[in-house]
Amino acid sequence: MTSDATSDASEIEKLRELITPARFVLWDFDGPICRLFARHTAERVAAELVDWLAGRGLHNLLSDSERGSLDPHVVLRAVDRRRPGSDLVAELEERLSHEELRAAGSALPTAYADPLIRTWTAVGARLAITTNNSPTVVRAYLNGRGLTSCFAPHIYGRTTDLHLLKPDPHCLNRALSAMGSAPGAALMIGDSPSDLTAAHDAGVPFLGYARNEHKRKLLREAGAGCVVGSLEPLLRMLRGR
């Protein structure tokens, strides 16, 4: 057996060890389930939030790196750190939720996510969403794909308590408690180091999903033990192929 074949077999075995005991599956939303900002880009949303702040004379609330961020969550959390609990934060969060909802209409489903979700549900696993996105946005997307019944009512997303966003394990702990799951009986599927940290702190096994080499590198460097570039192997395992 070649070294590549040995490596592939090892990765498949790692994946099987994660999938087989999982009775509760906690999904991050943007990434493993869909590319939320595939067309209505996150970069544009972040720039619009920065411009909105600047138009109110609040440009200096952000550092240079925060103003140049391509991630709207970086902008939101930066303002929350400096004006926690303020009406400004509430309005900025509402604006982000509105932009996410616009993005949901043109989001691209992650390959194999829909059949994997339905198959996992069919074989008796219980599923939840644990995300930093707005739960309203998640529901809108799932409704459009006919997937709501696979998750409802276990959709745990961003609240006004922004300090509880991942990497804090708060949304994972809410899901575990509501579903009556021990951490070891669950599996978290996420695509970022913050997902990995939240899973680790909640005591939940973690499977990384990376749609490109950059994301794979970030997850590996953060300590993810198993990272897949496609959900297709999971679907094949569940279907017994």
pTM score: 0.92
Integer Cα distance of 82 and 139 in angstroms? 30
pLDDT at 77: 93
* Contact between residue 79 and residue 53 where contact means Cβ atoms under 8 Å apart: yes
From 135, 105, 136, select the one nearest 40 (Cα to Cα).
Answer: 105
Assign domain 3-36+107-238 to its CATH superfamily: HAD superfamily/HAD-like (3.40.50.1000)
CB 204 within 8 A of CB 26: yes
| pLDDT score of 212 more than 50 | yes
d(CA 41, CA 124): 36
List the beta bridge partners of residue 207. Answer: 189
Interval 122-150: pLDDT, tens: 999 999 999 999 999 999 999 999 999 99
Does position 2 have pLDDT exceeding 50, yes or no?
Answer: no
| Average pLDDT over every residue of 201-207 | 98
pLDDT at 213 exceeding the cut of 90: yes
With a CB cutoff of 8 Å and minimum separation 6, the contacts of 139 are 148, 152, 155
**Given this model, what pLDDT does residue 70 score?**
87
pLDDT reading at 6 higher than 90: no
Least confident of 15-24, 164-173, 232-241: 232-241
Q: Say if residues 15 and 233 touch (Cβ distance below 8 Å).
A: yes
Sketch the domain layout of the chain as residue ranges.
3-36+107-238, 42-104
